[in-house]
Structure 1
Amino acid sequence: MADRLGTYRRKRDASRTPEPVPGEGPLPRGDGDTFVVQEHHARRLHWDFRLEREGVLVSWALPKGLPDDPRTNHLAVHTEDHPLEYASFAGEIPKGEYGGGRVTIWDRGTYETAKWTDREVKVVLHGSRVSGRYVLFPTHGKNWMIHRMDPPVDPEAVPMPERVDPVRPERRERLPRRAGAYGFEFAWGGRRLVVYSDRGTTRAQDGDGRSTKAPSGLGEALSAHRVVLDGELAGVDGGETYMVFDLLYLDGRPLLDEPYRRRRELLDGLELAGPRWQTAPCFDNGEAVRAAARAQGLPGVVAKRLDAPYRQGRADWRLIPVPEP
């Protein structure tokens, strides 16, 4: 009988990786109903989907995770069988080793087999984050597709917008009189950048709507989220940092009509803090922000109404420059 784990063992050195690397011998017998989805921050972020069958975990790598809508199929690259012990593995595979990077368990549960052939695998998943009927089918070589057979996980979800026209700041000489109705941010003096991130895959546009490069690593940090961010690329601490100051779409929900106060709450919930990106701070004291901006050599303050929606393409924010010394 062929060694189901031979390819797996040849790709790994048990003395250099924390992954389970069982020796040769009879395969263990489990219940035959375990599935696991592991978030794998390797050279490229992806999700590993594994189904227990005949003593191993039959495995596929999903660049965009499991689809949550039957109208969209996702690529599933068939990989080598993994040992059953891998269903509980989470840890850091050392850089330079096969699959080097961080592995976490995204979901785990049981499944039922509806059909299993070389041309079609139909299963019913019972997990804490994903459940329902799915089918996998090969398309070319190791490339398969995975399709959700049940209705959408979120029937009210809407697609991510293809383009957002950024709100423009309008220059004013004075801070607003009704200061309590506004939030105040630093004007960074950088380049406007709108970022679209769909489960780790990112694209970006500049303030004029032209395609440009998204900050490296940001999509991976956002992981399975689907978001549209608005911000500036600014010089901070000796390097270029993406200062994110607005959230326009989150996981199937457009936020353009939500008030700025709510958009900021949801943005803060993403906890964006990376080597070259972070959530820009917001304050309720415009005078203090302007004084701090002057001390730091920043060009000014941006005032935004807390109850205002995101009015695309309009001059709806107030830019108050720092007074000349």
Structure 2
Amino acid sequence: MADKLARYRSRRDPSRTPEPVPAEPPERPEARQGEGDREGDGDAFVIQEHHARSLHWDLRLEHDGVLASWAIPKGLPADPAVNHLAVHTEDHPMEYLTFHGEIPAGEYGGGAMTIWDHGTYETEKWSDREVKVVLRGSRASGRFVLFRTNGKNWMIHRMDPPARDPFPPLEPMLPVERVRPPRDEEEYAFEFAWGGRRTLVPIDGGRTDAARAYSWLRALAASFGSRSAVLDGEVVTLGGAEVLVCYDLLYDDGRSLVAEPYAARRAALEALGLSAARWQTAPSWPGQAAPVRQAAREQGLPGVVAKRLDAPYEPGPSKAWLLIPSPGTSRK
């Protein structure tokens, strides 16, 4: 039998990478009676999140004593209406089922690799041009088909119904200007009006369209890995650099939050722990109108925004968000 790991081995030096590099060709497993549709099929899979030159996910399926592998730049598709590119790569050794670690810079595939999910799968079809499987993992589950399109380029299609809510319409909720804070201020959270450029940041597959305007947001999107999100905030200049100040979360890990009250959305936003040189979570103070207005005046900000704690996210102008300008800064 031909050495199925020859290509894998030729690309790696075991003295320079922590990856498993077996010295001998893999042995073909015993045929399993009644399992799969081809002799030698195993049933283990792993998906690794790979922060290499570009973020992607590696799907590996046990087959004929090795791990058949595809690099998927945007991860598994959650919606059957959208197929994702899957680049067929060299077979990997079975030891790769548990591999995680840092592949040194300069080596093939250099970068951090973590195990995103693992489990078992069932084979419905396996040919040189089409692989149809049922994944049974903790994060990845359901029926998928990989089909070849051109050379090493394949596509992966989800055959089950959508696994997540659709993204909400990307139209921001806007405050209505008011001279004084609301009387029932305990029902509101008070935040600074930043006076920046309002920006919605959809994140999917470690990427964001907002990077077209702000290239530095690519790093923010990559930090989310496979977690999908829609952030709401403003791009402001702080300390001479543009910074994204986030103050709302419309979508989180496959679930739309627009119908949730602001207090719940705010808690979910804070749980993300967004804090870096170019992005941060805006401070928020429930029921504290006077001290927040005073701080806004002292910092030369346009005013404060009062947000009802029980209000859903309503695109367009909404009386649930009130802009109270600092003296002399009315926008009217």
Aligned to 2:173: 167
Q: Could you tell me how far apart the structure 2 residues matched to 1:50 and 1:92 are? A: 18
SS in structure 2 of the partner of residue 204 of structure 1: helix
Q: 1:191 aligns to what?
A: 197
* 2:225 matched residue in structure 1: 223
Number of equivalent positions: 315
Please give the secondary structure, in 2, of the residue aligned with 1:49.
Answer: strand
1:180 to partner: Cα distance: 0.2
**Which blocks of at least 5 consecutive residues in structure 2 are unaligned?**
31-40
CA–CA distance in 2 between the matches of 1:294 and 1:60?
55
- Aligned-partner residue type, residue 212 of structure 1: A
Alpha carbons of 1:178 and 1:84: their partners in 2 closer, same or farther (altered >3 Å)? same
Shift in Å, 1:164: 2.5
* Counterpart secondary structure, 2:192: strand
CA distance in 2, matches of 1:110, 1:94: 30
Q: Match of 2:265, SS?
A: helix
1:108 to 118, 128, 141: 118
Q: Is the 8 A contact 2:246 2:279 kept in 1?
A: yes
Query: Within 5 Å, which residues of 2 pair with 1:216-295?
Result: 216-284=218-286, 285-295=288-298
Report sequence identity in percent. 61
| Aligned equivalents of 1:212, 1:293: Cα separation in 2 | 28
2:48 paired residue number? 38
Mean Cα deviation higher: 181-190 or 137-146:
181-190
Q: Structure 1 unaligned runs (5+)?
A: 206-210
CA distance in 2, matches of 1:195, 1:141: 34
Q: TM-score by structure 2 length?
A: 0.85
The residue number in structure 2 matching 1:67 is 77
- Cα distance change of structure 1 residues 43 and 287 upon mapping to structure 2, 3 Å threshold: farther
Tell me, in whole angstroms, the C-alpha distance in 1 between the residues paired with 2:28 and 2:278.
46
One-letter amino acid of the counterpart of residue 247, structure 2: F
Residue 217 of structure 1 aligns to a residue whose secondary structure is helix
Are the counterparts in 1 of residues 206 and 221 from structure 2 also a CA contact under 8 Å?
A: yes
- Partner in structure 1 of residue 89 of structure 2: 79
Q: Against the structure 1 CA distance between its residues 254 and 37, is the aligned structure 2 distance closer, same or farther, given a 3 Å change threshold?
A: same
Partner of 1:182: 188
Letter in 1 for 2:250: L
Given residue 299 of structure 1, which amino acid in structure 2 is its aligned partner?
P
Matches within 5 A, 1:40-55: 40-55=50-65
Q: Which runs of 4+ in 1 moved over 6 A?
A: none
- Partner of 1:194: helix, strand, or coil? strand
Over 3 Å counting, the alpha-carbon distance change for 1:16 and 1:320 in structure 2 is farther
User: Residues 3-38 of structure 1: CA distance to partner in whole angstroms, max 9, x if unpaired?
Assistant: 322222232232332222222444485982210011
Instruction: Give 1:208's aligned residue.
Output: none
Cα distance 1:95–1:320, how it changes in 2: closer, same or farther (>3 A)?
A: farther
Structure 2 match to 1:148: 158
Alignment root-mean-square deviation, CA: 2.5
Q: Which residue of 2 aligns with 1:319?
A: 323
26 and 310 in structure 1: CA distance in 2 versus 1, 3 angstrom threshold:
closer
Change (3 A) 1:94 1:297: farther
Contact map agreement 1:203 1:213 (CA 8 A) in 2:
no
C-alpha displacement at 1:234, in angstroms? 1.4
Question: How far apart in 2 are the matches of 1:212 and 1:10?
Answer: 41
Paired with 2:252 and 2:182, the residues of 1 have a C-alpha distance of 30
C-alpha separation between the residues in 2 aligned to 1:165 and 1:134? 33
C-alpha change, 1:254 and 1:26, in structure 2 (3 Å) is closer
